[in-house]
């Protein structure tokens, strides 16, 4: 869940800055509707900055070249305002004026046209959305060239205004060419620039540990599961089909990938392991009939070097807009977590949970909600051994690049309440795409994949369990 009110304490300078983000959208000149790109996406702190670029987590006007557009917003509490900051994902520089009010529906112009546009494309040259994760093909591919001139327009008032609770912000989207998106609007009581912040932890930012490269390939792959002596990955071939491989631990290194038996690589297009429960393996990628309880996942039992098919994983009223999905499970598979896109999604691909029934099938999928799920995609879930810590990849929140790795903590036994996702920090995430991970709880090692230098890479890094706690 986005935080709407933030206090930034600055003891060095002897003062603090009160920052609020939009809590409510009153109305706007245009709205695409739905859960993606709607005017309500400006609620809360920035989802896309510092990297900028196209995102369904932002408000996109229906016609970016249609002249004057406006949005009226309200904040949780009235406060003194010295500065307004408008975060523009694409082609910044379109702000015309800002009008302010106390929340009674009346507005007075407080700022016009004297805007300092922060050049975030230059300042954050190392942050980009050059690659993104294609959930259908489970690989990293080149992204459309839409990350054009993101910026923050600062409206600093000559004198502070008291008791401000609402704003009417007016744009002329013809001022710059190309698409337009507004990520967030913030206010503060000082002229100290409001800067975007990635939600991470000091331990993760200042970690003394560095990632070590274990394996690299021109072929796209994701990491799905591990045991005490193996890591399992699915690797795409030249025909864009994927099969399951195992890499054996050899001291601090890994063996070359070994293709698993055809008895488990049985699907025509995609094969991948998502969970291991004792000698049982859950795999995904098989074709299934939509509108049934079929999910495309199957149970196998390991028997020597071969696998015996046991049964399909069935879910009540299963619905997935795509042909594949992500999945992980707790130790006895009594609860599963899935990443799919359905008609109850928060936007793109979301995380859901389901519990096993007496007959061995699974109950209706339930969405984890807005705390975990964004208007963009959450993919490749991995549930740690404590059955509380969930690691996943997302391109729906402020990050170091395109797709970053995050963790969230289950707060109770309902599986419905989770902590706000925390970015795993700059030692793990960077301007490339980090798309999948597994965690060795005993040895406190995170294994993860990244797309760098035109290669898919498997890396490991020491990640103490003490780092994986909520803020």
Check for a shared fold between 5-188 and 202-467: no
pLDDT at position 239 is: 80
CA 144 to chain CA mean position, Å: 18
- Looking at residue 121, its pLDDT comes to 43
CATH classification (class only), 5-188: mainly beta
212-217, strands of its sheet edge to edge: 212-217, 455-462, 445-452, 433-440
| Cα 414 to the center of its chain, rounded Å | 23
What pLDDT does 454 receive?
Answer: 87
Q: Return d(Cα 255, Cα 258) in angstroms, integer.
A: 8
Mean pLDDT by 10 residues, the chain (471 residues): 48 68 95 85 91 88 77 97 95 94 96 61 39 40 55 94 97 87 96 92 97 95 94 90 95 94 94 96 90 94 95 95 92 97 87 97 95 94 97 94 94 95 97 94 97 92 97 83
List, as one string, the DSSP characters of 90-111.
ES---EEEEEEESSSS--EEEE
Kindly state the helix (H) or strand (E) to which residue 123 belongs, with its residue range: helix 120-123
Tokens of 144: 């459309």
Q: What is the per-residue pLDDT for 209?
A: 98
Break the chain into its structural domains and give their ranges: 5-188, 202-467
Backbone angles phi, psi at 295, to 5 degrees: -125, -10
- What fold does the segment set 202-467 form as a domain? Tachylectin-2; Chain A (2.115.10)
Q: Which residues pair with 423 in a beta bridge?
A: 406
Give the H/E segment covering residue 214. strand 212-217
* Rounded distance between C-alpha atoms, residue 117 and residue 107, angstroms: 24
- C-alpha distances (whole Å) from 80 to each of 16, 36, 76, 84, 165 are 13, 32, 13, 11, 9
Picking from 242, 71, 28, 52, the residue whose alpha carbon sits closest to that of residue 130 is 52
Closest CA to 10 of 175, 131, 190: 190
Count the residues in the chain.
471
Residue 243 is inside which H or E element, if any?
Answer: strand 242-250
Q: Which tokens hold the place of 270?
A: 């995609």
Q: What is the pLDDT of residue 21?
A: 97
CA torsion sign for 37, 43, 48, 53 is positive
For residues 194 and 188, the answer to whether their CB atoms sit within 8 Å is yes
* Pairwise CA distance, residues 373 & 352, whole Å: 9
User: How far apart, in whole angstroms, are the C-alpha atoms of residue 41 and residue 315?
Assistant: 32
Find out whether 308 and 300 touch, Cβ atoms under 8 Å: yes
Phi then psi for residue 320, to 5 deg, are: -140, 125
- Tokens representing 279 are 């000698």
* In contact, 234 and 284? CB cutoff 8 Å: no
pLDDT at 382: 98
Alpha carbons within 13 A on the beta-carbon side of 45: 21
pLDDT of residue 240: 76
Query: What Rg, from alpha-carbon coordinates, does the chain have?
Result: 24
* Cα–Cα distance measured from residue 38 to residue 28, given in angstroms and rounded to the nearest whole number: 10
Q: What is the pLDDT of residue 50?
A: 86
Other CB atoms within a 10 A radius of the CB of residue 393 amount to: 30
d(C-alpha 316, C-alpha 195), whole Å = 45
pTM here?
0.88
């Amino acid at each position: 869940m986005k935080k709407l009110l933030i206090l930034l304490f600055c003891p060095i300078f002897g003062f603090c800055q009160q920052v609020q983000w939009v809590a409510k959208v009153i109305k706007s000149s245009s709205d695409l509707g739905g859960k993606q790109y709607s005017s309500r996406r400006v609620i809360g702190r920035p989802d896309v900055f510092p990297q900028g670029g196209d995102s369904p987590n932002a408000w996109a006007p229906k016609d970016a070249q249609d002249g004057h557009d406006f949005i009226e917003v309200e904040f949780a509490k009235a406060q003194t305002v010295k500065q307004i900051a408008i975060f523009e994902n694409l082609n910044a520089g379109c702000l015309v004026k800002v009008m302010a009010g106390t929340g009674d529906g009346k507005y007075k112009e407080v700022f016009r046209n004297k805007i300092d546009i922060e050049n975030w494309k230059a300042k954050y040259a190392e942050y980009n959305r050059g690659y993104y994760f294609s959930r259908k093909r489970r690989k990293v591919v080149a992204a459309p060239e839409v990350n054009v001139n993101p910026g923050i327009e600062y409206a600093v008032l000559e004198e502070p205004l008291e008791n401000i609770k609402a704003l009417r912000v007016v744009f002329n989207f013809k001022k710059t060419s190309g698409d337009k998106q507004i990520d967030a609007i913030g206010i503060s009581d000082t002229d100290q620039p409001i800067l975007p912040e990635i939600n991470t932890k000091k331990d993760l930012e200042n970690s003394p540990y560095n990632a070590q490269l274990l394996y690299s390939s021109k072929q796209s792959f994701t990491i799905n599961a591990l045991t005490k002596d193996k890591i399992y990955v699915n690797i795409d071939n030249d025909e864009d089909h994927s099969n399951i491989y195992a890499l054996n631990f050899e001291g601090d290194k890994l063996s070359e990938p070994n293709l698993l038996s055809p008895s488990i690589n049985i699907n025509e297009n995609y094969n991948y392991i998502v969970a291991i429960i004792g000698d049982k393996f859950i795999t995904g990628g098989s074709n299934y009939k939509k509108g049934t309880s079929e999910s495309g996942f199957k149970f196998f039992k390991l028997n020597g070097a071969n696998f015996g098919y046991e049964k399909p994983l069935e879910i009540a009223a299963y619905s997935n807009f795509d042909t594949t999905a992500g999945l992980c499970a707790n130790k006895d598979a009594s609860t599963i977590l899935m990443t799919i896109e359905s008609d109850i999604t928060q936007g793109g691909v979301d995380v859901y949970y389901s519990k096993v029934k007496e007959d061995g099938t699974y109950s209706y999928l339930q969405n984890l909600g807005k705390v975990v799920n964004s208007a963009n995609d959450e993919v490749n879930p991995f549930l740690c051994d404590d059955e509380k810590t969930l690691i996943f990849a997302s391109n729906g929140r402020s990050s170091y690049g395109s797709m970053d790795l995050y963790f969230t903590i289950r707060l109770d036994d309902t599986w419905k309440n989770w902590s706000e996702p925390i970015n795993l920090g700059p030692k793990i995430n960077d301007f490339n795409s980090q798309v999948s991970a597994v965690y060795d709880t005993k040895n406190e090692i995170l294994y993860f994949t990244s797309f760098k230098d035109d290669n898919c890479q498997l890396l490991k890094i020491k990640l103490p369990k003490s780092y994986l706690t909520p803020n």
